[in-house]
Amino acid sequence: MRYLIHIRNLLPALLLLSTTAGAADFSLSVADVDAPAFSARGIRLVLPADGSADLQIANLKLQQREFRNLRVRCGGFTLSSAQMSCRNGRLDAIPDAKLDFSYDFSGQRWQLALVAASGESWRVDGQAGERGWQVSAQLRNAQGKRLSPLLPAGMPLFTQGALNGTVRARGNASGVQTVDADLQLAEIGFSDASGLHAAEKMRGDIKFTANRKGAAWDWQGSVAWQSGEMFWQPLYLSGDNHALSASGRYDGKSFEIEQAVLDLPEVGRMQFSATLQQGRLLQGVLRGDKLTLTKLFENYARPFLAKGALAEAALYGRADVEIQYRNDAVQALRLGLHDVGIADVSQRFTLLGVNSEINWRLDAPVTARIDFAGGALLGVPLQAGQWTVNMKGLDFSVPQAELAILDGKLDLHNLHIYQQADAWRWEFAGSLLPISMEQFSEAAGLPKMLGTLAGRIPRVNYDGNEINVDGALLFNVFDGTVVATHLKLANAFGRSPQLSGDLAMRNLDLDLLTRTFSFGNMQGRLDGDVNNLQLRDWQPSRFDARLYSSAGNYPRKISQRAVQNISALGGAGAAAAIQRSYLRFFENFGYERIGWSCVLRNGVCAMGGIEGSNSGTYAIIKGGGIPAISVMGYNRNVSWRELLTRLKRVTQNNVKPIIK
């Protein structure tokens, strides 16, 4: 080896100088050293007369790392034809540690021992010969921070903790041939400059062996993570007996994991194999049976769902999984679901008792049956059901499906889910068969309503960003109709959905409507229009609304209580003008027309009625018949929040308006 030849050639000169120099100091420049694993430039050795030594290296390269201006001071230095040694040495880069070094020329053996406080020691033994070389390191309470300068650029750096164990390597002139490591981690911590990768108080064991065969390496290893915490964006994990064992091959281009077993606490065991090239996954297979989905979803899936309803959901049950990946895509998926459930923490949806055996393939059509035991949507219970799904690659369809809701059902037609331009899209149409409004309102936590809820659902589609309704969405409620048009829901599965559209209400039964909301009794029919409706996070931010009496002949009566409540909505100064002579005798009065409007902008409702006057008042109810009543409004601009507060008060019987 080249560096050994240089030392042997210099040895006679060094011995001669050491015996003839007497009390004089002398220095010596050594030729550059090149070895398979390292190189050194600018080597200078100073030998004072007191028996010490000062070794300086201008540039040292270890693998891909470079160090400059290294300096070792030896308290005692000896040199003979058999050995060279440095005792009580100090390395400038590690000022708190003592260094001892010795080299046996005849046996080409060397030893290096580094000792620091708290029982820390690094002992490195090496030997070189014609057949090759070997190096072993014994670590005892070795501080991880000392390894940071040896790590590749960009890697997280050790911040705390220690290592114990052994590392061995063997090689020859062509390079390293075997590597063997058996290490124990104690309170290890690391972090990087970005703050996206960090760990604290990690404890565990690492074992690794690699053998070179020609241009390739056969390797095997295991990791047992017992305790501690780690954040690796976006995953946050705590060590609780995680375990990984794997073996494979590396040929300089491809990194192959031939067999691996991963044990995740509270999840189960998974087996996988994979081939990677330059960080790209070429092919892989993952298998797992009876996996517990709660922790699997919570710890390893949810962190990647930064937005959407699933990011705020919980998953239950068990699953059998087999995934085959090749040619930059999943080629096959076997999924067995066993009593699986999913629930939104905001109680928007729940699906329970899902069971299915799905054998999906990218290149072949298959059919799967999905059974579910029930669930809920916005608090409304869903009954058990069974769906048949046709799958053809990334195209999924359900020609016909039923979803039982209370005493009615939702019929879905042509449900179609597919991927286009790297975004998932879906569409469907359907109809809602009559559901008892009384049962629906009770289940949804709404005031008790009468009548039935039914309607026709035109084509609804999701384009990867927005949900759009093509045509009119029709519902039959309060013995009338509600038609929704131009409906659009943006950011549907995000934290702040935005709904827009127009509503047209026709011929609603006021008797059913007012009894529902404890408003007092009104008889008649009501029409309404809500145009330019915009809701942000399901709260109104803009609309143009108008309510008015329906055309036609029908009884038009209003109770004294309803009059009081309508008057109270007008706020201070609102009054009801009735024929005084009849006040003490009648509880119900006649009216000719009803009219009220609100234009909501920037949190303020600009109100109007049937007709106005120069004084700024407007009529909400125009009297008619005997006894007749008229209700006037006096406040045209009212805070939307204040209006909602007033409405809540009157429906809870907490108002006492003045009646004139």
Long-range contacts of the stretch 128-131 (C-beta < 8 A, 24+): 128/1, 128/4, 131/172
Residue 426 CA to residue 414 CA, distance in Å, equals: 10
Nearest Cα to Cα of residue 187 among 165, 164, 161: 161
Residue 571 CA to residue 574 CA, distance in Å, equals: 6
pLDDT at 35: 58
The residues of the chain scoring below 70 in pLDDT are 1-26, 30-31, 33-38, 62-65, 152, 306-309, 446-448, 450, 493-495, 516-519, 567-586, 611-615, 649-660
The tokens describing 60, both together, are 């040292």
Residue 462 CA to residue 457 CA, distance in Å, equals: 15
What pTM did the predictor assign?
0.72
- The verdict on whether omega for the bond into residue 627 sits within 30 degrees of 0, i.e. cis, is yes
Determine whether 30 is exposed, middle or buried from the number of CB atoms within 10 Å of its CB (0-12, 13-18, 19+). middle
Helix (H) or strand (E) holding 637: strand 637-639
Q: How many angstroms separate the Cα of 119 from the Cα of each of 140, 161, 252, 319?
A: 7, 13, 39, 49
Pair 219, 250: CB distance under 8 Å:
yes
Pair 11, 83: CB distance under 8 Å:
no
Neighbouring C-alpha atoms within 13 Å toward the C-beta of 189: 7
- Name residue, tokens 């008797």: 511
Residue 540 CA to residue 537 CA, distance in Å, equals: 8
Gyration radius (Cα) of the chain, Å = 41
| Phi, then psi, of 23 in degrees rounded to 5 | -85, 0
Question: DSSP letters of 141-169?
Answer: EEEGGGGGGGSPTTS-EEEEEEEEEEEEE
Q: Are strands 395-405 and 423-436 parallel, antiparallel or unpaired?
A: unpaired
Residue 632 CA to residue 619 CA, distance in Å, equals: 4
| Phi, then psi, of 577 in degrees rounded to 5 | -105, 115
77: β partners? 86
Residue 332 CA to residue 205 CA, distance in Å, equals: 35
Kindly state the DSSP code that residue 145 receives in the 8-state scheme. Answer: G
For the chain, counts of helices (H) and of strands (E):
6, 44
Nearest Cα to Cα of residue 484 among 505, 453, 463: 505
* pLDDT tens digit sequence for 567-590: 666 554 444 444 344 445 667 778
Nearest Cα to Cα of residue 577 among 520, 656, 521, 632: 632
Residue 115 CA to residue 258 CA, distance in Å, equals: 41
* pLDDT tens digit sequence for 149-170: 777 677 888 999 999 999 999 9
Residue 271 CA to residue 250 CA, distance in Å, equals: 20
Kindly state the DSSP code that residue 517 receives in the 8-state scheme. Answer: T
- Name residue, tokens 């709660």: 294
Pair 59, 66: CB distance under 8 Å:
yes
Nearest Cα to Cα of residue 31 among 13, 19, 15, 49: 13
The tokens describing 4, both together, are 């050994």
Residue 53 CA to residue 469 CA, distance in Å, equals: 86
Q: Are strands 473-477 and 452-462 parallel, antiparallel or unpaired?
A: antiparallel
CA 272 to chain centre: 23
Q: How many other CB atoms are there within 10 angstroms of residue 264's CB atom?
A: 21
Residue 443 CA to residue 6 CA, distance in Å, equals: 90
pLDDT at 333: 95
Helix (H, G, I), strand (E, B) or coil at 584: coil
Nearest Cα to Cα of residue 220 among 229, 211, 228: 211
Residues contacting residue 384 through CB under 8 Å, at least 6 positions apart: 353, 371, 372, 373, 374, 404
Determine whether 49 is exposed, middle or buried from the number of CB atoms within 10 Å of its CB (0-12, 13-18, 19+). exposed
